[in-house]
Amino acid sequence: MTVDSQNDNATIGIFARLQPLLARLLQGGLTLLAVSLLIFLAARALPGDVANMILGQSATQEQLDLLRVQLGLDQPLWWQYLIWLGGILRGDWGTSLSNGQPVADLLALGVRNSATLSGVALAVMLPLSLLVGVIAAQLRDGFVDKVFLGMSMVANAVPDFVTGTVLVALFATTVLHVLPAVSFIPPGDSPFSYPDALVLPATTVIIPGVMYLARLVRVAVIDVMATEYIQTAELKGLSPSRILFRHALPNAVAPIIPAASLVAAFTVGGVVVVEYLFAYPGVGSALVDAVTNRDLPVIQANVLVIASAYFIFNLIADSFAQRDEAAGQRQSKA
Amino acid sequence: MTMVLKASGLTVERADGAPIIEDVSLGLDRGEVMGIVGESGSGKSTLALALLAYARRGVRIAGGSVRVADTNMLELDTATLRKARREVVAYVAQDPGAALNPMLTLGTLLTEGLAGSKAEKVVRAREILRKVGLPDDEAFLQRRPRQLSGGQQQRIAIAMAVIAKPKLIILDEPTTGLDVSTRAKVLDLIRQLCISDDLTAIYVSHDLAVIANVADHVTVMYGGQVVEQGTMQEVLATPRHPYTRALLNAVPSLQARQTLRPIRGRVPAVGEAPNGCIFSDRCDHAIEACNTRPALRLVGGTQVRCVRPELAEAFEVRPQAVGHSDRQVANNSAVLQADGVNAFYGHRQILFDVSLQVEPGRCLAVVGESGSGKSTLSRCLIGLHGNLTGALSLDGKPLPLTVDQRDRNARQRLQYIFQNPNASLNPRRTIGQSLAAALANRPEACGNRSGAIIAEAFERVGISPHLAMRYPAELSGGQRQRVAIARALVANPAVLLCDEVTSSLDVSVQASVIELLRSLLADGLGMLFVTHDLAVVRNIADTVAVLSAGRVIEQGDVYKVLSAPSHPYTQSLLANTLQLPTEAIDVPTIARRQSAAGSR
């Protein structure tokens, strides 16, 4: 009896703790549903007729009508949407209109390649931002710091495709010829088998990310270094490294994490441009190709994947921000 | 006696060469406590830090020497200096909430920097925790600073400073942010440590009453210079510098309502000191000879930087103020009344059945410690706390409980003044604009009239209307609080709700704000004055309500409650209120301390 009631309490406790998360996931699910509707409508609103694109200019009206019936394009829009949505929920993403392959297969390939690119970029970007930010803060108002601030201004003002083009000119075509200008990775091969194909696309994503995040790190470290507890640590005679790593960084990193999650979200979204630029076979370039071909199921699937990734990173950013807020409230109560 | 601290000719300057402290010399024997006193901006914190060979960013120690025991602090390389700060001199900052790293456990905070194995460190930490009167179990060592109360945090900060058994400990306003009974306990702890560990200490404070209760010697700082230095009794009994006298005159007394003498003008900013005697522009006794800077000289046992130290005999004792509680109040009907107020945070009840009334021309003080619910009470009255039951009435008419249900007239009749004017004035508005924004709610005061009303409000609080274009950051703390009061006045209120309005101010500035509030009372304003300082209550209030754990435990006329408190809580509050020993009743405190010092 007592054991039972204890178990009940434990269940309730876990539920109470999970409840905000569940609410958030439900909210996220609804958001993605709304996004899927928008994607669907936007894809249908693209100019140009799918049947025309597939059959070419010489097709007769009967051929076109027949294809439309085969593709289900003669059905009302809401019905087409429900069919598509139902398919996704069953794991059936449809077939590509342009090459007849299952969308799920194309998607798996693109997601793997894009995730590799984003993952590599983030794995370099985040520690590098921390390092650059801390160094700039330590050398505050010095020459290195000023150069960094100027460079970060420029890097953040310049669009990704310009950065990428400049990198290509420097390392692939005009000045040096050490890296490939186009990231050719055969379908089915892992991008890690072609590391030199990853370098330029990843660098194009890393540069603006580091320049933005390192600025935030720099300001956070400067703020923390000006607090009384750092002064106290100095007056306790602690070593500079202990002050930096034990006293300053844990406090400086906390406000950076939500921003870093958002940058991660932007990186996943921004990968479209970079992939297109380097013809890197990921979700982004697949999307661009699909739009050119009016390949509706592929467009929808790819946009939905990018939107979900965006959503997940935003969720992470939000929960960090909320945790900070809760900590702040505890502090103000004390 | 061995000399533990010998600082001489210590000078700290800004990067542009303007001195922040100039030619300061101090000497302390083993086991002695030196109080350093002065207003904000007098350079006392800079001095405290310079004794640890530390200068804030953009500031450098330009000259002089600091010897602590056998260590010459200003001539060490960085590694040896760090060792000296671990083992020879320790520092306790004013605000432990800000000075303790929120991410580290108490165990780490206490023992980092100590040599020895982990087990030894834990033993040391437990030992020191017991010494400062805190729990010493493992769970407590794993706590973080935010899980402690303010008083406990300051105990940790003190424990952190004394754990390595330093020769000298420097305390920079360690009790300023604490309420009276916590302050009394922390002061007790410091005194006890001085005796049991034979600790030599520097105690920095703006509050002479606190200094008088811990120190053997006192150094009075003004504008970065030592203006008077000597033994505690000598300086307090016969202050020879006009600034010392002025500081003493500004301290409110618990025994009697007196005219508080604010010091006119303000502490000179760094680099803007007058050429002659640094205090000459604010001094009532300045003469021609004050235009050349006097040197410190020995007069009757104390060092004084004044050309007329003989003036000490001429300083008048401040007169008693006319207590307007003695005056017969014609209109005795309450302007603001609260009946049976209960307030809650969530399901927790904060206030229990609180009833009180504010009468025109009279001041009701609400007294209690932090957490007693006094701020909640004032927020209930102004209508900012939604979760309450009970009845409020204004001018005899019922007053809705929350501010959004109140009409414009009711909102204007009640005005609120916050504790911290730095936070309550919009930093991006000139003070003139801040007042104009408050006027925007008065339709009858639009157009040309508004300028006149604003100018009148500034005049009333003693701020020159020329300053209307200034931003709050360009004003002193006292001026800012006056502006906050002026902003309340432009609404033409009947009642001012003052929430700890003098707590963040220097004693001298507090004196000027109290005098201003008194004159507003004389104009017929009703006032509710929330505070934890009974000496301030004695000097401004007519009636007092003592709040403890959300209940009014004692209520009545100020002189009755303060001279014969009936509730033990009020008695303990009174006992913990620190007083200057110049008032006969407190002399035994010093005598006791002296005998303790003598027995060592």
Q: CATH number of the domain that A241 lies in? A: 1.10.3720.10
Distance CA A49, CA A32 (A): 27
Q: Nearest CB to B83: which of A231, A234, A237?
A: A237
Q: Do A237 and B98 touch (CB under 8 A)?
A: no
CB-based contact A237 B86, cutoff 8 Å = yes
Q: Classify residue A95: in a domain, yes or no.
A: no
The reply to whether A56 and A156 lie within a common domain is no
Confidence band of A5 (pLDDT split at 50, 70, 90): very low
Q: Domains for chain B: give ranges and CATH numbers.
A: 3-88+166-313 (3.40.50.300), 101-165 (no CATH), 336-576 (3.40.50.300)
Domain count, chain A: 2
Q: Which one of A63, A89, A115 terminates a domain?
A: A89
**Degrees, nearest 5: CA angle B129-B133-B134:** 55
Burial (0-12, 13-18, 19+ Cβ within 10 Å), B360: buried
Report if residue A234 sits inside a domain: yes
Strands (E), B17-58: 19-29, 33-37
Question: CA-based angle B247:B175:A233, to the nearest 5?
Answer: 120
Cα separation, B427 vs B448, whole angstroms? 25
Which among B81, B102, B113 has CB closest to A236? B113
Cβ distance of B103 and A251 shorter than 8 Å: yes
Domain co-membership, A189 together with A266? yes
d(CA B15, CA B9) in angstroms, rounded, equals 19
Which of the two residues, A128 and B438, has the higher pLDDT score?
A: A128
Which residue numbers in chain B have pLDDT < 50? 324-328, 330, 583-600
Residues A77, A112, single domain; the answer is no
* Domain-terminating residue out of A32, A62, A89: A89
Of A228, A251, A330, the CB nearest to B93: A228
Contact list in B for residue A237 (CB cut-off 8 A) is 81-87, 113
Q: What sign for the dihedral angle of Cα B506, B509, B514, B520?
A: negative
B204 reaches A (C-beta below 8 A): no
* CB-based contact B497:B505 (threshold 8 Å): no
Q: Which residue has the tokens 């949505």?
A: A85
Give the separation between CA B14 and CA A174, rounded to whole angstroms: 53
Q: Residue A255 domain-assigned? A: yes
- In a shared domain, residues A203 and A293: yes
**Among A89, A118, A142, residue at a domain's last position:** A89
ipTM: 0.78
% of chain B with per-residue pLDDT over 70: 92
Select from B49, B81, B100, B103 the residue whose CB has the most chain A CBs within 10 Å, as the one to mutate to test that interface.
Answer: B103
A304 and A214 in one domain? yes
Taking a C-beta distance cutoff of 8 angstroms, is the pair A252, A103 a contact? no
Q: Could A228 and B81 be called an inter-chain contact, meaning their C-beta atoms sit closer than 8 Å?
A: no
Per-residue exposure over B401-412, b if at least 16 CB sit within 10 Å of its own CB, e if not: bebeebeeebbb
Closest CA to A48 of A107, A97, A87, A103: A97
A107, A83: one domain: no
> Domain range holding A25?
2-89
- Give yes or no for residue A96 having a pLDDT over 70: yes
A202 and A148 within one domain = yes
> Given CB atoms, is B90 within the 8 Å cutoff of chain A?
yes
- The torsion angle over the Cα atoms of residues A99, A100, A103 and A104, rounded to 10 degrees, is -120
* Interchain pair A228, B98: CB under 8 A: yes
Do both A122 and A83 map to the same domain?
no
Q: Is position A173 within any domain? A: yes
Torsional sign, CA B550, B551, B555, B559: negative
Looking at residue A178, what is its pLDDT?
74
- Please tell me if residue A330 touches chain B, with a CB cutoff of 8 Å: yes
Which position has the token pair 């309490």?
A9
Residue A61 lies in a domain: yes
Quick check: is A293 in a domain? yes
The reported pLDDT for the residue numbered A2 is 42
Q: For the purposes of burial, counting CB atoms within 10 Å of the CB of A284, is it exposed (0-12), middle (13-18) or buried (19 or more)?
A: buried
pLDDT at B312: 67
Comparing B542 with A254, the larger pLDDT belongs to B542
Among residues B165, B203, B228, the alpha carbon closest in space to that of B33 is found at B203
Q: H/E element holding B160?
A: helix B150-162
Both A27 and A157 in one domain: the answer is no
Q: How distant, in Å, are the alpha carbons of B128, B217, B236 from that of B183? A: 20, 21, 22
Mutate to test the interface with A, among B101, B109, B173 (most CBs of A within 10 A): B101
pLDDT at residue number A327: 58
Same domain (yes/no): A118, A232 = yes
CB contact under 8 A, A232 and B86: no
How many other β-carbons are positioned within 10 Å of the β-carbon of residue B553? 16
- H or E element, residue B336: strand B336-345
DSSP notation for B233-281: HHHHHS--SHHHHHHHHHSPPSSS-B---PPSS-PPPTT---SSSTTGG
Q: Residue A96: inside a domain, yes or no? A: no
Tell me the pLDDT band of A333, cut-offs 50, 70 and 90.
very low
Amino acid at B261: R
Based on the fold, state whether residues A228 and A117 are members of the same structural domain.
yes
Check CB contact under 8 Å for A235 and B98.
Answer: no
Residue A138 with chain B: CB contacts under 8 Å: none
How far off is chain B from A226, nearest CA to CA, in Å? 9
A59 shares its domain with A20: yes
Mark yes or no for CB contact A250/B103 under 8 Å.
yes
Could you tell me the maximum CA-CA distance found in chain A, to the nearest angstrom?
A: 88
Q: Is residue A209 a part of any domain in this protein? A: yes
Predicted local confidence at residue B528, as pLDDT? 94
Least confidently predicted of A67-81, A141-155, B103-117, B582-596 = B582-596
Q: Which residue has the higher pLDDT, B204 or A66?
A: B204
